[in-house]
């Protein structure tokens, strides 16, 4: 998008907010391409916090479930690669809870991870970075001797299966 260079405001909005689902696609105006953002800055930053930050709904769900199963954990140990969502320090195990769309759940049966029909190439480029980062962080944790379980958003529906997986992961020798 070379022409955007003339419009630093627009370019910044692309780089920092390009992943927001509510952000409109660029349209051509008589002054050049332009991104239309229907939210004011405060609303925008709240929306972005919802999309990217820790403490998402799937994560809260897993936290409550694991707590009810009787396990105690720490949240987002900042010193660990990728800041895992749940950290079981004594067992040296960590759990990530991933949204299927943003983290590209590789299961072909996963419906949430499917890309929008319009402009799939845009999303592939946007999201492949997330997946790469996840893989690097996972490898780094495992190299430090941690065992890691990734729970996908779409797996939250089968609660008994999920509980079994979590228990097996935490109790394995």
Interface residues toward Zn ion, by CB under 5 A = 100, 105, 110, 112, 152, 154
Least distance to Zn ion, CB of residue 114, Å? 10
Strand segments, DSSP code E, in 10-129 are: 27-29, 32-34, 74-75, 86-88, 93-98
DSSP 8-state assignment for residue 104: T
Q: Which residues pair with 94 in a beta bridge?
A: 87, 148
Least distance to Zn ion, CB of residue 35, Å? 29
What is the number of other CB atoms lying within 10 angstroms of the CB of residue 167? Answer: 14
CB of 35 or CB of 95, closer to Zn ion: 95
> Do 149 and 165 contact (CB within 8 A), yes or no?
yes
What is the number of other CB atoms lying within 10 angstroms of the CB of residue 97? Answer: 24
CB of 112 or CB of 135, closer to Zn ion: 112
Least distance to Zn ion, CB of residue 113, Å? 5
Least distance to Zn ion, CB of residue 57, Å? 14
CB of 58 or CB of 84, closer to Zn ion: 58
CB of 100 or CB of 148, closer to Zn ion: 100
């Amino acid at each position: 998008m070379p022409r955007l260079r003339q419009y630093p405001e627009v370019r910044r909005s692309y780089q920092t907010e390009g992943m927001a689902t509510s952000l409109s696609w660029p349209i051509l105006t008589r002054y050049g391409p332009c991104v239309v953002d229907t939210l004011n800055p405060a609303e925008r930053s709240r929306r972005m916090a919802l999309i990217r930050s820790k403490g998402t709904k799937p994560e809260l769900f897993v936290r409550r479930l694991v707590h009810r199963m009787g396990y105690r954990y720490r949240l987002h140990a900042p010193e660990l690669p990728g800041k895992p969502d749940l950290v079981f320090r004594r067992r040296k195990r960590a759990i990530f809870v991933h949204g299927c769309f943003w983290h590209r759940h590789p299961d072909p049966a996963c419906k949430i991870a499917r890309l929008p029909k319009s402009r799939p190439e845009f999303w592939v480029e946007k999201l492949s970075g997330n997946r790469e980062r996840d893989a690097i962080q996972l490898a780094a944790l495992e190299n430090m001797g941690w065992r890691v379980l990734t729970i996908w958003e779409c797996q939250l529906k089968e609660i008994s299966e999920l509980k079994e997986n979590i228990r097996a992961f935490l109790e394995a020798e």
